[in-house]
Amino acid sequence: MGISDLSIIRGYGIFDFFRLKDNAPLFMEDHLDRFFLSARKVFDEIPFDKESLEARIRKLIEVNQMPVSGIRVVLTGGYTPDGYSIGLPNLIITQEHIKFPPDERYRTGVKLITYPYLRELPEVKTINYMTGIWLKKEIAKAGAFDVLYHHNGLVCELTRSNFFIVNQQNEIITPDRSILKGVTRRKVLDLARQKFKVHEAPVSVDDLRTAKEAFLTGTTKKVLPVTLIDDFTIGDGQVGSITKELMQQFSLFEEKYIKQG
């Protein structure tokens, strides 16, 4: 890719990412739907359709034979004639090794720190992760796993994950605005609604202090418990029963999805 691509010069581009388990692409249809939703919002022209993109991805999977891995699909701003105008988008597809949080994190939960920030075009999965990467030193200094963004008193999302709380009434609540609506988030919401009362609604920063449980969801995090935020403990500091149940249900759902092909 040439250096005049708008993704390099201005950081303009979108992407999506999903993982493989036992060489099976997990929820690829959902991820490609979201990829095209993002693409249509930021590009006037997309030089391929979903079917041809999926065919390329499946060919890559067949050739590489990496049973546990991630597929990254990037659409750049294209070669710009003046350093600012969008060109014809360039497509990049990579398959890469992935890392999961250590098992201990799922047993004890993780710590988050909060930070006031609202991503540009939050409903679009852009390639701009500058703030999250810039904050990595602060995250490490605090002994935290990641940062939880908030804006105007409302919780948004993490750098690469969605966020949930369980209130004192055992209701599950996840922010409904100024977020990227994750694929894992949607799957977990569907599973949770089978047994619990679920709300997609505003979550205030104050709500964090009264939450009984908290967890995050993401492609490589699955369902990961949160037991500490900044200087306060969530609930009793242990992984809650509802979080444990959703962790188990999501794992079973994943296995069933793979078996069904």
Average pLDDT estimate for 166-174: 98
- Nearest to 168, CA basis, from 245, 247, 249, 236: 236
User: What's the pLDDT band for 261 if we cut at 50, 70, 90?
Assistant: confident
- Each residue's pLDDT tens digit, 179-220: 999 999 999 999 999 999 999 999 999 999 999 999 999 999
- Nearest to 214, CA basis, from 194, 233, 186: 233
> pTM, whole model, 2 decimals?
0.96
**At residue 60, does pLDDT exceed 80?**
yes
Average pLDDT estimate for 245-253: 98
Task: Tell which CATH classification among 3.30.70.270, 3.30.43.10, 3.30.470.10, 3.90.230.10 matches the domain 6-96.
Answer: 3.30.470.10
User: What's the pLDDT band for 6 if we cut at 50, 70, 90?
Assistant: very high
Q: How many CA atoms lie within 13 A of 20 on its CB side?
A: 21
183-192 and 28-42 helices, crossing angle to 10°: 130
User: What's the pLDDT band for 2 if we cut at 50, 70, 90?
Assistant: confident
* Alpha-helical segments (H) within 4-129: 6-9, 28-42, 50-64, 103-108
Task: Tell which CATH classification among 3.90.1170.40, 3.20.10.10, 3.40.50.300, 3.40.50.10860 matches the domain 103-257.
Answer: 3.20.10.10
- Nearest to 148, CA basis, from 72, 212, 234, 73: 234
